[in-house]
Structure 1
Amino acid sequence: MDLEGKRIVVVGGSRGLGRGLAEAFVVRAAEVTVVARNATAVQGPGEQPAVTAISADATDVDAAWRIMDQTRPDLVIMNAGAEPPTERIDRIGWEAFTTNWNVDVKAALHWVQAALTLPMTPGGLVVLVSSGAAVQGSPLSGGYAGAKRAQWFIAKYAEGLSAELGLALRFRVIVPRQMFTGTGVGDTGIAAYAAAAGRTFAEQAATWPEMTPRAFGDMVADLIGRTGLAEAMVYAVRGDTGVTVIE
Protein backbone atom coordinates (compact mmCIF):
# COMPACT_ATOMS: atom_id res chain seq x y z
CA MET A 1 0.00 0.00 0.00
CA ASP A 2 1.65 3.21 -1.17
CA LEU A 3 0.94 5.68 1.65
CA GLU A 4 1.51 8.82 -0.41
CA GLY A 5 -1.76 10.68 -0.76
CA LYS A 6 -3.69 8.09 1.23
CA ARG A 7 -6.40 9.38 3.58
CA ILE A 8 -5.47 8.09 7.03
CA VAL A 9 -7.41 8.56 10.27
CA VAL A 10 -5.52 7.98 13.52
CA VAL A 11 -7.95 7.65 16.42
CA GLY A 12 -6.12 8.55 19.60
CA GLY A 13 -3.28 10.25 17.77
CA SER A 14 -2.44 13.29 19.88
CA ARG A 15 0.20 11.65 22.10
CA GLY A 16 2.14 8.47 22.74
CA LEU A 17 2.15 5.73 20.13
CA GLY A 18 -0.71 7.35 18.25
CA ARG A 19 1.29 10.52 17.83
CA GLY A 20 4.29 8.52 16.66
CA LEU A 21 2.10 6.86 14.05
CA ALA A 22 0.61 10.16 12.88
CA GLU A 23 4.06 11.70 12.49
CA ALA A 24 5.28 8.67 10.53
CA PHE A 25 2.35 8.86 8.12
CA VAL A 26 2.81 12.60 7.62
CA VAL A 27 6.45 12.24 6.52
CA ARG A 28 5.28 9.62 4.04
CA ALA A 29 3.04 12.25 2.41
CA ALA A 30 -0.26 10.82 3.59
CA GLU A 31 -3.30 13.00 4.31
CA VAL A 32 -3.60 12.47 8.06
CA THR A 33 -6.56 13.20 10.30
CA VAL A 34 -6.07 12.81 14.04
CA VAL A 35 -9.06 12.21 16.30
CA ALA A 36 -8.47 12.99 19.97
CA ARG A 37 -10.24 14.37 22.99
CA ASN A 38 -7.79 17.27 22.97
CA ALA A 39 -7.23 18.03 19.30
CA THR A 40 -5.51 21.33 20.15
CA ALA A 41 -2.55 19.26 21.38
CA VAL A 42 -1.99 18.15 17.79
CA GLN A 43 -1.71 21.65 16.32
CA GLY A 44 0.77 24.26 17.38
CA PRO A 45 4.56 24.46 17.48
CA GLY A 46 6.61 23.58 14.44
CA GLU A 47 7.72 20.23 15.79
CA GLN A 48 4.16 18.97 15.73
CA PRO A 49 2.85 17.14 12.68
CA ALA A 50 0.84 18.93 10.00
CA VAL A 51 -2.47 17.12 10.24
CA THR A 52 -6.19 17.77 10.35
CA ALA A 53 -7.28 17.52 13.98
CA ILE A 54 -10.79 16.65 15.16
CA SER A 55 -11.85 16.83 18.80
CA ALA A 56 -14.06 13.86 19.65
CA ASP A 57 -14.51 11.07 22.16
CA ALA A 58 -13.40 7.86 20.44
CA THR A 59 -16.14 5.93 22.25
CA ASP A 60 -18.89 8.19 20.85
CA VAL A 61 -20.66 6.09 18.22
CA ASP A 62 -22.11 9.15 16.46
CA ALA A 63 -18.66 10.72 16.20
CA ALA A 64 -17.21 7.53 14.73
CA TRP A 65 -19.82 7.38 11.99
CA ARG A 66 -19.69 11.12 11.29
CA ILE A 67 -15.90 11.24 10.99
CA MET A 68 -15.72 8.10 8.89
CA ASP A 69 -18.34 9.54 6.55
CA GLN A 70 -16.60 12.93 6.33
CA THR A 71 -13.06 11.65 5.79
CA ARG A 72 -13.71 8.48 3.76
CA PRO A 73 -10.33 7.05 4.83
CA ASP A 74 -8.22 4.46 3.07
CA LEU A 75 -6.67 3.49 6.40
CA VAL A 76 -7.93 3.75 9.97
CA ILE A 77 -5.62 3.29 12.95
CA MET A 78 -7.54 2.64 16.18
CA ASN A 79 -5.12 3.57 18.95
CA ALA A 80 -7.50 5.19 21.44
CA GLY A 81 -7.50 3.76 24.92
CA ALA A 82 -7.51 4.48 28.62
CA GLU A 83 -4.61 4.24 31.03
CA PRO A 84 -5.26 0.98 32.89
CA PRO A 85 -5.80 0.89 36.64
CA THR A 86 -2.84 -0.43 38.62
CA GLU A 87 -4.03 -2.71 41.39
CA ARG A 88 -3.81 -6.34 42.44
CA ILE A 89 -6.63 -8.66 41.43
CA ASP A 90 -7.73 -9.10 45.07
CA ARG A 91 -8.07 -5.36 45.60
CA ILE A 92 -9.54 -3.96 42.41
CA GLY A 93 -13.23 -3.06 42.11
CA TRP A 94 -15.40 -3.88 39.12
CA GLU A 95 -15.61 -0.31 37.85
CA ALA A 96 -11.83 0.01 37.73
CA PHE A 97 -11.43 -3.52 36.34
CA THR A 98 -13.66 -2.71 33.35
CA THR A 99 -11.99 0.63 32.53
CA ASN A 100 -10.41 -0.58 29.31
CA TRP A 101 -13.48 -2.53 28.24
CA ASN A 102 -15.46 0.69 28.42
CA VAL A 103 -12.90 2.64 26.38
CA ASP A 104 -10.54 0.50 24.28
CA VAL A 105 -13.05 -2.20 23.34
CA LYS A 106 -16.00 0.15 22.98
CA ALA A 107 -14.08 2.49 20.67
CA ALA A 108 -12.77 -0.39 18.56
CA LEU A 109 -16.27 -1.81 18.18
CA HIS A 110 -17.86 1.49 17.09
CA TRP A 111 -15.19 2.35 14.52
CA VAL A 112 -15.12 -1.17 13.08
CA GLN A 113 -18.91 -1.14 12.80
CA ALA A 114 -18.77 2.19 10.97
CA ALA A 115 -16.14 0.82 8.58
CA LEU A 116 -18.29 -2.21 7.79
CA THR A 117 -21.61 -0.43 7.50
CA LEU A 118 -20.87 2.80 5.63
CA PRO A 119 -18.81 1.00 4.26
CA MET A 120 -15.21 2.07 3.68
CA THR A 121 -13.96 2.10 0.10
CA PRO A 122 -12.99 -1.39 -1.13
CA GLY A 123 -9.34 -2.03 -0.34
CA GLY A 124 -9.63 -0.11 2.93
CA LEU A 125 -7.61 -1.21 5.95
CA VAL A 126 -8.50 -0.93 9.65
CA VAL A 127 -5.71 -1.53 12.17
CA LEU A 128 -6.40 -2.01 15.88
CA VAL A 129 -3.44 -1.27 18.16
CA SER A 130 -3.52 -3.87 20.92
CA SER A 131 -0.87 -4.64 23.58
CA GLY A 132 1.63 -7.28 24.57
CA ALA A 133 -0.57 -7.73 27.63
CA ALA A 134 -3.04 -9.47 25.30
CA VAL A 135 -0.43 -12.22 24.89
CA GLN A 136 1.05 -12.71 28.34
CA GLY A 137 -1.41 -10.91 30.62
CA SER A 138 -0.80 -8.05 33.04
CA PRO A 139 -1.69 -8.96 36.63
CA LEU A 140 -1.47 -5.38 37.90
CA SER A 141 -3.72 -3.89 35.20
CA GLY A 142 -7.22 -5.15 35.95
CA GLY A 143 -9.15 -6.07 32.81
CA TYR A 144 -6.64 -4.41 30.48
CA ALA A 145 -5.14 -7.61 29.03
CA GLY A 146 -8.56 -9.10 28.34
CA ALA A 147 -9.76 -5.90 26.71
CA LYS A 148 -6.75 -5.74 24.42
CA ARG A 149 -7.24 -9.41 23.47
CA ALA A 150 -10.90 -8.72 22.73
CA GLN A 151 -9.74 -6.30 20.05
CA TRP A 152 -8.19 -9.27 18.22
CA PHE A 153 -11.56 -10.99 18.09
CA ILE A 154 -13.28 -7.83 16.88
CA ALA A 155 -10.78 -7.63 14.02
CA LYS A 156 -11.21 -11.33 13.18
CA TYR A 157 -15.00 -11.15 13.23
CA ALA A 158 -14.93 -8.04 11.03
CA GLU A 159 -12.49 -9.67 8.61
CA GLY A 160 -14.80 -12.65 8.26
CA LEU A 161 -17.87 -10.49 7.73
CA SER A 162 -16.07 -8.36 5.15
CA ALA A 163 -15.28 -11.51 3.17
CA GLU A 164 -18.83 -12.80 3.54
CA LEU A 165 -20.33 -9.52 2.29
CA GLY A 166 -17.73 -8.98 -0.43
CA LEU A 167 -16.62 -5.62 1.00
CA ALA A 168 -12.90 -6.13 0.22
CA LEU A 169 -11.91 -4.54 3.55
CA ARG A 170 -9.09 -5.80 5.75
CA PHE A 171 -8.96 -5.73 9.54
CA ARG A 172 -5.65 -6.27 11.29
CA VAL A 173 -4.01 -6.03 14.73
CA ILE A 174 -0.66 -4.50 15.72
CA VAL A 175 0.70 -5.62 19.08
CA PRO A 176 3.37 -3.42 20.72
CA ARG A 177 5.22 -6.12 22.69
CA GLN A 178 6.97 -3.82 25.11
CA MET A 179 6.36 -0.80 27.33
CA PHE A 180 7.29 2.66 26.10
CA THR A 181 8.51 5.45 28.34
CA GLY A 182 6.95 8.82 27.68
CA THR A 183 3.50 7.36 27.01
CA GLY A 184 0.55 7.30 29.37
CA VAL A 185 0.05 3.54 29.37
CA GLY A 186 3.78 2.82 29.35
CA ASP A 187 4.70 5.12 32.21
CA THR A 188 1.75 3.89 34.29
CA GLY A 189 2.71 0.25 33.77
CA ILE A 190 6.42 0.75 34.33
CA ALA A 191 5.78 2.63 37.58
CA ALA A 192 3.41 -0.07 38.87
CA TYR A 193 5.70 -2.99 38.12
CA ALA A 194 8.73 -1.09 39.41
CA ALA A 195 6.99 -0.58 42.75
CA ALA A 196 5.96 -4.24 42.91
CA ALA A 197 9.51 -5.41 42.19
CA GLY A 198 11.23 -2.90 44.46
CA ARG A 199 12.96 -1.24 41.51
CA THR A 200 13.30 2.35 40.42
CA PHE A 201 11.36 3.54 37.38
CA ALA A 202 14.59 3.66 35.37
CA GLU A 203 15.56 0.12 36.38
CA GLN A 204 12.16 -1.23 35.34
CA ALA A 205 12.18 0.72 32.07
CA ALA A 206 15.58 -0.79 31.27
CA THR A 207 14.04 -4.28 31.22
CA TRP A 208 12.48 -3.32 27.88
CA PRO A 209 14.35 -2.57 24.64
CA GLU A 210 14.75 1.04 23.65
CA MET A 211 12.11 2.26 21.25
CA THR A 212 10.46 5.65 20.92
CA PRO A 213 6.84 6.17 19.84
CA ARG A 214 8.13 7.67 16.60
CA ALA A 215 10.34 4.64 15.93
CA PHE A 216 7.29 2.46 16.53
CA GLY A 217 5.31 4.60 14.11
CA ASP A 218 8.00 4.36 11.45
CA MET A 219 8.19 0.58 11.79
CA VAL A 220 4.42 0.20 11.46
CA ALA A 221 4.20 2.68 8.57
CA ASP A 222 6.99 0.88 6.72
CA LEU A 223 5.27 -2.46 7.27
CA ILE A 224 1.96 -1.15 5.93
CA GLY A 225 3.68 0.53 3.01
CA ARG A 226 5.55 -2.65 2.08
CA THR A 227 2.91 -5.29 2.61
CA GLY A 228 -0.46 -3.67 3.25
CA LEU A 229 -0.57 -6.16 6.15
CA ALA A 230 -1.69 -8.78 3.62
CA GLU A 231 0.54 -11.55 5.00
CA ALA A 232 -1.05 -12.14 8.42
CA MET A 233 -3.73 -11.01 10.86
CA VAL A 234 -1.74 -10.10 14.00
CA TYR A 235 1.74 -8.55 14.03
CA ALA A 236 4.05 -7.89 16.99
CA VAL A 237 6.37 -4.87 17.07
CA ARG A 238 9.31 -4.59 19.46
CA GLY A 239 12.48 -2.54 19.57
CA ASP A 240 14.95 -5.43 19.56
CA THR A 241 13.20 -7.98 17.33
CA GLY A 242 11.37 -5.65 14.96
CA VAL A 243 8.20 -6.98 13.34
CA THR A 244 7.15 -10.60 13.87
CA VAL A 245 3.97 -12.41 12.92
CA ILE A 246 1.83 -13.74 15.76
CA GLU A 247 -0.91 -15.27 13.62
Structure 2
Amino acid sequence: MGLRDKTIVVTGGSRGLGLGLVEALVDQGAKVTVVARGQAALAAVERRLGVAVIPADVTDEGAARRILAETHPEILVLNAGAKPRMGRLDQLSWEDFTAPWETDVKAGLYWLQAALGLPLRPGSRVLVVSSGAAVSGSPMSGGYGGAKRMLWFMASYANRVSEQQGLGIRFQAIVPRQMVAGTGVGDEASDAYARALGIGIEEYLARFGTPMPPRQFGDHVVAVLDDQQYATDFAFGLKGDTGITVLERETA
Protein backbone atom coordinates (compact mmCIF):
# COMPACT_ATOMS: atom_id res chain seq x y z
CA MET A 1 0.00 0.00 0.00
CA GLY A 2 2.90 2.35 0.71
CA LEU A 3 3.17 4.89 3.53
CA ARG A 4 5.22 7.55 1.76
CA ASP A 5 3.53 10.95 2.09
CA LYS A 6 0.64 9.44 4.07
CA THR A 7 -0.69 11.85 6.69
CA ILE A 8 -0.49 10.08 10.06
CA VAL A 9 -1.31 11.21 13.59
CA VAL A 10 0.16 9.27 16.54
CA THR A 11 -0.99 10.02 20.07
CA GLY A 12 1.60 9.33 22.75
CA GLY A 13 4.30 9.29 20.10
CA SER A 14 7.03 11.15 21.97
CA ARG A 15 8.36 8.20 24.01
CA GLY A 16 8.20 4.43 24.48
CA LEU A 17 6.31 2.30 21.96
CA GLY A 18 4.83 5.37 20.33
CA LEU A 19 8.25 6.83 19.64
CA GLY A 20 9.42 3.54 18.15
CA LEU A 21 6.44 3.68 15.80
CA VAL A 22 7.09 7.30 14.85
CA GLU A 23 10.70 6.44 13.99
CA ALA A 24 9.53 3.59 11.75
CA LEU A 25 6.91 5.77 10.03
CA VAL A 26 9.40 8.55 9.36
CA ASP A 27 11.76 6.04 7.76
CA GLN A 28 8.88 5.10 5.43
CA GLY A 29 8.49 8.73 4.33
CA ALA A 30 5.19 9.34 6.10
CA LYS A 31 4.08 12.81 7.19
CA VAL A 32 3.72 12.32 10.93
CA THR A 33 2.13 14.50 13.60
CA VAL A 34 2.81 13.53 17.21
CA VAL A 35 0.34 14.43 19.95
CA ALA A 36 1.44 14.26 23.60
CA ARG A 37 1.43 16.27 26.82
CA GLY A 38 5.14 16.52 27.61
CA GLN A 39 6.50 19.53 25.76
CA ALA A 40 10.17 18.69 26.39
CA ALA A 41 9.77 15.21 24.89
CA LEU A 42 7.78 16.65 21.98
CA ALA A 43 10.48 19.22 21.28
CA ALA A 44 13.13 16.48 21.29
CA VAL A 45 11.27 14.27 18.81
CA GLU A 46 10.53 17.29 16.62
CA ARG A 47 14.21 18.20 16.46
CA ARG A 48 15.46 14.67 15.88
CA LEU A 49 12.88 13.35 13.44
CA GLY A 50 11.48 16.49 11.81
CA VAL A 51 7.86 15.58 12.60
CA ALA A 52 5.05 17.99 13.39
CA VAL A 53 4.05 18.10 17.04
CA ILE A 54 0.95 19.22 18.93
CA PRO A 55 0.99 19.50 22.73
CA ALA A 56 -2.36 18.35 24.09
CA ASP A 57 -4.02 16.29 26.78
CA VAL A 58 -5.45 13.25 24.97
CA THR A 59 -8.33 13.11 27.46
CA ASP A 60 -9.50 16.55 26.30
CA GLU A 61 -12.54 15.91 24.10
CA GLY A 62 -12.25 19.26 22.38
CA ALA A 63 -8.58 18.69 21.56
CA ALA A 64 -9.36 15.38 19.87
CA ARG A 65 -11.95 16.96 17.61
CA ARG A 66 -9.82 20.03 16.89
CA ILE A 67 -6.66 18.10 16.04
CA LEU A 68 -8.40 15.69 13.67
CA ALA A 69 -10.22 18.58 11.98
CA GLU A 70 -6.91 20.39 11.48
CA THR A 71 -4.79 17.45 10.34
CA HIS A 72 -7.28 15.21 8.44
CA PRO A 73 -5.09 12.10 8.87
CA GLU A 74 -5.32 9.13 6.56
CA ILE A 75 -4.07 6.99 9.45
CA LEU A 76 -4.65 7.61 13.16
CA VAL A 77 -2.80 5.61 15.83
CA LEU A 78 -4.20 5.84 19.35
CA ASN A 79 -1.25 4.86 21.51
CA ALA A 80 -1.30 7.28 24.47
CA GLY A 81 -1.97 5.94 27.93
CA ALA A 82 -1.08 6.31 31.58
CA LYS A 83 1.32 4.14 33.55
CA PRO A 84 -0.83 1.86 35.72
CA ARG A 85 -0.49 2.14 39.48
CA MET A 86 1.03 -1.15 40.53
CA GLY A 87 -0.05 -3.23 43.51
CA ARG A 88 -2.05 -6.27 44.58
CA LEU A 89 -5.83 -6.11 44.36
CA ASP A 90 -6.10 -5.70 48.13
CA GLN A 91 -3.63 -2.81 48.13
CA LEU A 92 -5.14 -0.45 45.56
CA SER A 93 -7.52 2.41 46.17
CA TRP A 94 -10.42 3.01 43.79
CA GLU A 95 -8.48 5.95 42.30
CA ASP A 96 -5.46 3.70 41.70
CA PHE A 97 -7.60 0.94 40.21
CA THR A 98 -9.51 3.18 37.80
CA ALA A 99 -6.58 5.36 36.64
CA PRO A 100 -6.23 3.49 33.29
CA TRP A 101 -9.96 3.98 32.67
CA GLU A 102 -9.73 7.70 33.39
CA THR A 103 -6.89 8.09 30.87
CA ASP A 104 -6.67 5.24 28.35
CA VAL A 105 -10.36 4.50 27.97
CA LYS A 106 -11.51 8.10 28.25
CA ALA A 107 -9.03 9.20 25.59
CA GLY A 108 -9.97 6.24 23.40
CA LEU A 109 -13.65 7.15 23.59
CA TYR A 110 -13.09 10.79 22.67
CA TRP A 111 -10.72 10.11 19.77
CA LEU A 112 -12.87 7.31 18.33
CA GLN A 113 -15.93 9.54 18.57
CA ALA A 114 -14.03 12.36 16.89
CA ALA A 115 -12.89 10.07 14.05
CA LEU A 116 -16.48 8.91 13.48
CA GLY A 117 -18.08 12.30 13.99
CA LEU A 118 -15.81 14.41 11.79
CA PRO A 119 -15.66 11.94 10.03
CA LEU A 120 -12.25 10.90 8.72
CA ARG A 121 -12.13 10.31 4.97
CA PRO A 122 -13.34 7.01 3.51
CA GLY A 123 -10.43 4.57 3.37
CA SER A 124 -8.86 5.95 6.57
CA ARG A 125 -7.52 3.52 9.16
CA VAL A 126 -7.51 3.90 12.93
CA LEU A 127 -5.22 1.66 15.00
CA VAL A 128 -6.02 1.31 18.69
CA VAL A 129 -3.07 0.07 20.77
CA SER A 130 -4.22 -2.37 23.46
CA SER A 131 -2.06 -4.75 25.54
CA GLY A 132 -1.41 -8.40 26.21
CA ALA A 133 -3.04 -7.70 29.58
CA ALA A 134 -6.31 -7.55 27.64
CA VAL A 135 -5.84 -11.26 26.87
CA SER A 136 -4.42 -12.75 30.05
CA GLY A 137 -5.05 -10.09 32.69
CA SER A 138 -2.56 -8.25 34.87
CA PRO A 139 -3.14 -8.93 38.58
CA MET A 140 -0.62 -6.32 39.77
CA SER A 141 -2.01 -3.37 37.79
CA GLY A 142 -5.58 -2.92 38.95
CA GLY A 143 -7.99 -2.02 36.18
CA TYR A 144 -5.33 -1.90 33.46
CA GLY A 145 -6.14 -5.24 31.80
CA GLY A 146 -9.84 -4.44 31.72
CA ALA A 147 -9.18 -0.97 30.33
CA LYS A 148 -7.06 -2.38 27.53
CA ARG A 149 -9.71 -4.97 26.72
CA MET A 150 -12.30 -2.20 26.64
CA LEU A 151 -10.23 -0.34 24.03
CA TRP A 152 -10.22 -3.54 21.96
CA PHE A 153 -14.01 -3.74 22.27
CA MET A 154 -14.38 -0.05 21.41
CA ALA A 155 -12.42 -0.46 18.18
CA SER A 156 -14.84 -3.23 17.24
CA TYR A 157 -17.83 -1.07 18.15
CA ALA A 158 -16.41 1.75 16.02
CA ASN A 159 -16.22 -0.60 13.04
CA ARG A 160 -19.92 -1.32 13.44
CA VAL A 161 -20.74 2.39 13.45
CA SER A 162 -18.56 2.94 10.39
CA GLU A 163 -20.33 0.13 8.56
CA GLN A 164 -23.81 1.29 9.61
CA GLN A 165 -23.12 4.87 8.56
CA GLY A 166 -21.24 3.94 5.39
CA LEU A 167 -18.16 5.89 6.47
CA GLY A 168 -15.52 3.57 5.02
CA ILE A 169 -13.21 3.94 8.05
CA ARG A 170 -11.41 0.80 9.23
CA PHE A 171 -10.63 0.36 12.95
CA GLN A 172 -8.06 -2.23 14.09
CA ALA A 173 -6.55 -3.30 17.42
CA ILE A 174 -2.81 -3.68 18.04
CA VAL A 175 -1.90 -5.94 20.97
CA PRO A 176 1.73 -6.11 22.18
CA ARG A 177 1.98 -9.57 23.78
CA GLN A 178 4.99 -8.97 26.06
CA MET A 179 6.56 -6.48 28.44
CA VAL A 180 8.80 -4.04 26.60
CA ALA A 181 11.83 -2.64 28.42
CA GLY A 182 12.60 1.03 27.97
CA THR A 183 8.97 2.12 28.15
CA GLY A 184 7.15 3.71 31.06
CA VAL A 185 4.54 0.97 31.36
CA GLY A 186 6.97 -1.87 30.67
CA ASP A 187 9.58 -0.73 33.16
CA GLU A 188 7.06 -0.01 35.91
CA ALA A 189 5.23 -3.30 35.49
CA SER A 190 8.38 -5.40 35.09
CA ASP A 191 9.83 -3.99 38.29
CA ALA A 192 6.63 -4.70 40.23
CA TYR A 193 6.26 -8.28 38.97
CA ALA A 194 9.95 -9.08 39.39
CA ARG A 195 9.88 -7.86 43.01
CA ALA A 196 6.70 -9.85 43.71
CA LEU A 197 8.38 -13.00 42.37
CA GLY A 198 11.69 -12.31 44.11
CA ILE A 199 13.70 -12.29 40.88
CA GLY A 200 15.59 -9.69 38.85
CA ILE A 201 13.96 -7.62 36.12
CA GLU A 202 16.08 -9.20 33.36
CA GLU A 203 15.09 -12.68 34.51
CA TYR A 204 11.45 -11.67 34.52
CA LEU A 205 11.60 -10.13 31.04
CA ALA A 206 13.30 -13.27 29.72
CA ARG A 207 10.08 -15.17 30.41
CA PHE A 208 8.55 -13.44 27.39
CA GLY A 209 11.19 -14.80 25.01
CA THR A 210 12.89 -12.67 22.39
CA PRO A 211 12.74 -8.96 23.32
CA MET A 212 10.69 -6.56 21.22
CA PRO A 213 12.28 -3.11 21.51
CA PRO A 214 10.06 -0.08 20.73
CA ARG A 215 11.51 0.28 17.24
CA GLN A 216 10.73 -3.33 16.39
CA PHE A 217 7.19 -2.74 17.63
CA GLY A 218 7.09 0.20 15.23
CA ASP A 219 8.30 -1.92 12.34
CA HIS A 220 5.59 -4.49 13.06
CA VAL A 221 2.90 -1.80 13.06
CA VAL A 222 4.26 -0.45 9.77
CA ALA A 223 3.91 -3.96 8.33
CA VAL A 224 0.28 -4.10 9.50
CA LEU A 225 -0.35 -0.79 7.74
CA ASP A 226 1.67 -1.52 4.62
CA ASP A 227 0.99 -5.21 3.88
CA GLN A 228 -2.26 -5.93 2.09
CA GLN A 229 -2.67 -9.26 3.91
CA TYR A 230 -3.42 -7.32 7.12
CA ALA A 231 -5.81 -4.79 5.59
CA THR A 232 -9.05 -6.53 6.51
CA ASP A 233 -8.24 -8.44 9.72
CA PHE A 234 -9.13 -6.80 13.02
CA ALA A 235 -6.79 -7.57 15.95
CA PHE A 236 -3.06 -8.29 15.75
CA GLY A 237 -0.70 -9.66 18.40
CA LEU A 238 2.89 -8.42 18.23
CA LYS A 239 5.82 -10.27 19.80
CA GLY A 240 9.57 -10.36 19.46
CA ASP A 241 9.84 -14.06 18.61
CA THR A 242 6.65 -14.66 16.60
CA GLY A 243 6.27 -11.27 14.91
CA ILE A 244 2.69 -10.50 13.85
CA THR A 245 -0.16 -12.92 14.51
CA VAL A 246 -3.83 -12.39 13.76
CA LEU A 247 -5.84 -12.58 17.00
CA GLU A 248 -9.26 -11.75 15.58
CA ARG A 249 -10.56 -11.68 12.04
CA GLU A 250 -14.19 -10.73 12.51
CA THR A 251 -15.63 -7.70 14.30
CA ALA A 252 -19.34 -8.31 13.83
Q: Provide TM-score, normalisation by structure 1.
A: 0.97
Matches within 5 A, 1:81-96: 81-96=81-96
Contact 1:3–1:29 (8 Å) recurs in 2: yes
Instruction: Determine the C-alpha separation between the residues in 1 that align with 2:159 and 2:60.
Output: 23
Shift of 1:159: 0.1
Matches within 5 A, 1:20-169: 20-44=20-44, 48-169=48-169
Shift of 1:46: 9.2
Which structure 1 residue ranges, 5 or more long, are not aligned?
none
- Give the number of aligned pairs: 247
Structure 1 window deviating more from structure 2 (204-213 vs 82-91): it is: 204-213
Instruction: Determine the C-alpha separation between the residues in 2 that align with 1:211 and 1:230.
Output: 23
Instruction: Determine the C-alpha separation between the residues in 2 that align with 1:170 and 1:228.
Output: 14
Shift of 1:43: 3.2
Shift of 1:228: 7.5
Contact 2:224–2:231 (8 Å) recurs in 1: no
Contact 1:14–1:39 (8 Å) recurs in 2: no
Q: Which runs of 4+ in 1 moved over 6 A?
A: none
Contact 2:42–2:55 (8 Å) recurs in 1: no
Residue deviations 1:23-67 (CA, integer Å, cap 9, x gap): 111110000000000143133489832200110001100100000
Structure 1 window deviating more from structure 2 (21-30 vs 221-230): it is: 221-230
Instruction: Provide the residue aligned with 1:184 in structure 2.
Output: 184
> Identity of paired residues, percent?
51
Instruction: Determine the C-alpha separation between the residues in 1 that align with 2:108 and 2:195.
Output: 31
Instruction: Provide the residue aligned with 2:238 in structure 1.
Output: 237
- Report the 3-state secondary structure (helix = DSSP H, G, I; strand = E; otherwise coil) of the residue aligned with 1:98: helix
Instruction: Determine the C-alpha separation between the residues in 1 that align with 2:98 and 2:228.
Output: 35
Letter in structure 1 aligned against 2:49? P
Residue deviations 1:134-179 (CA, integer Å, cap 9, x gap): 0000000000000000001111111001001000000110000000
Which structure 2 residue ranges, 5 or more long, are not aligned?
none
Instruction: Provide the residue aligned with 1:221 in structure 2.
Output: 222
Contact 2:132–2:176 (8 Å) recurs in 1: yes
Contact 1:42–1:49 (8 Å) recurs in 2: no
Instruction: Determine the C-alpha separation between the residues in 2 that align with 1:99 and 1:117.
Output: 26
Residue deviations 1:105-145 (CA, integer Å, cap 9, x gap): 01111011000000001100110000000000000000000
Instruction: Determine the C-alpha separation between the residues in 1 that align with 2:30 and 2:104.
Output: 25
Instruction: Determine the C-alpha separation between the residues in 2 that align with 1:38 and 1:227.
Output: 35
Change (3 A) 1:211 1:107: same
Instruction: Provide the residue aligned with 1:201 in structure 2.
Output: 201
Instruction: Determine the C-alpha separation between the residues in 1 that align with 2:190 and 2:47.
Output: 27
Instruction: Determine the C-alpha separation between the residues in 2 that align with 1:43 and 1:227.
Output: 34
Change (3 A) 1:231 1:188: same
Instruction: Provide the residue aligned with 1:13 in structure 2.
Output: 13
Instruction: Determine the C-alpha separation between the residues in 1 that align with 2:145 and 2:223.
Output: 27
Structure 1 window deviating more from structure 2 (101-110 vs 224-233): it is: 224-233
